[in-house]
Structure 1
Amino acid sequence: MKLHELKNVKGAIHRKKRVGCGEGGGHGKTSGRGGKGQSARSGSSIRPGFEGGQMPLYRKLPHRGFNNYEFRTEIAVINVGDLAKLDASITEVNAEVLVKAGLIRNGQPGLKVLGDGEISRALKVTAGKFSESAKAKLEKAGGQAIVA
């Protein structure tokens, strides 16, 4: 099969709705907008939750509690198994090395090493946090876990 032989599945292509082109087209006169009112006007858009001036439900209900979403710090996470995949010439690992290797994104505030996977070579890893299993696996392989 070649690109020029591809065909659309039946029903995949629809005719464009021609609005306001006379009564014979089926979408004439009010053009599918109903009769009069705010939504019949051009440029009309009513924001989500608007109830026509009535006190909206989201303002009637009590708002309690605290949400940490706006104040969170997203820490970059990497597993011991991913460190084992690094180039063999690398002996010291930190956030900059991992960014260059494409394992974490640049600009994240911290780095935590988790213990998923196995490692067999000695690496000197510098990070903000280590899980207990990650620290144990690194030290068992002859490496170091340095908290920066």
Structure 2
Amino acid sequence: MRLHEVRPRPGAKHRVKRVGCGESSGHGKTSGRGTKGQKARSGGSIRPGFEGGQMPLIRRIPKRGFNHRAFQTRYAPVNVGALERLSEEVIDEEVLRKVGLVKGRWDGVKILGGGEIHRRIVVRVQAVSQAAKAKIEQAGGKVETVPKRAS
């Protein structure tokens, strides 16, 4: 098989619906938009949540309470088993980001107890589970917690 012989799977490609190309096409005249009205006009769309002038549901229901989700501390989870593969003696957030175990925006890193570790390492992160701490110390390693980064 060569590159010029590669074809898409049968049924993967569809013809584009060409509207406004005469009555015999089946999509002529009103082009599948029905007759008159706001949705038949160009640019005629209504915003999500709009209920035709009736008070929208989101404004009808009572709002109560407070949500702390915006203020919670979010840690990037990393299992102990993943640390076994790293060659560094001292492991911190910078090392974990460099090898790709931590990506994106987090308030810090938390080491979790999944997997096993058999070599001596020093871990400097914001949080460690009890199981992970026990496994690291059992292997002769050391756990140091550092304060979380200011966001």
TM-score (structure 1 length as normaliser): 0.86
| CA positional deviation for 1:45 | 1.7
Distance in 2 (CA, whole Å) between partners of 1:9 and 1:138 is 51
- Equivalent residue letter for 1:98: L
Aligned position for 2:61: 61
Unaligned runs of 5+ in 2: 147-151
Alignment deviations for residues 122-143 of structure 1 (CA, whole Å, 9 cap, x no partner) = 1111111111111111111111
| CA positional deviation for 1:86 | 0.3
Distance in 2 (CA, whole Å) between partners of 1:42 and 1:78 is 51
- 1:91-102 correspondence to structure 2 within 5 Å: 91-102=89-100
Q: Percent identity?
A: 56
- Equivalent residue letter for 1:73: T
Aligned position for 1:117: 115
Q: CA-atom RMSD, angstroms?
A: 1.9
Q: 1:4 to 1:66 in 2, by over 3 A?
A: farther
Alignment deviations for residues 61-119 of structure 1 (CA, whole Å, 9 cap, x no partner) = 223343334333321121111111101xx211111111122211265321111111111
Q: Does 1:14 align with 2:14?
A: yes
Q: Which deviates more from structure 2 when the two are superposed, residues 57-66 or residues 23-32?
A: 57-66
- Equivalent residue letter for 2:71: F
Alignment deviations for residues 23-63 of structure 1 (CA, whole Å, 9 cap, x no partner) = 22211221111111111111122112211111122222223
- Equivalent residue letter for 2:72: R
- Equivalent residue letter for 2:95: V
Distance in 2 (CA, whole Å) between partners of 1:106 and 1:51 is 38
- 1:1-148 correspondence to structure 2 within 5 Å: 1-87=1-87, 90-105=88-103, 107-148=105-146
- Residue 44 of structure 1 aligns to a residue in which SS? coil
Q: Which deviates more from structure 2 when the two are superposed, residues 36-45 or residues 68-77?
A: 68-77
Kept in 2, the 8 Å contact 1:99–1:106? The answer is: no
- Equivalent residue letter for 1:122: R
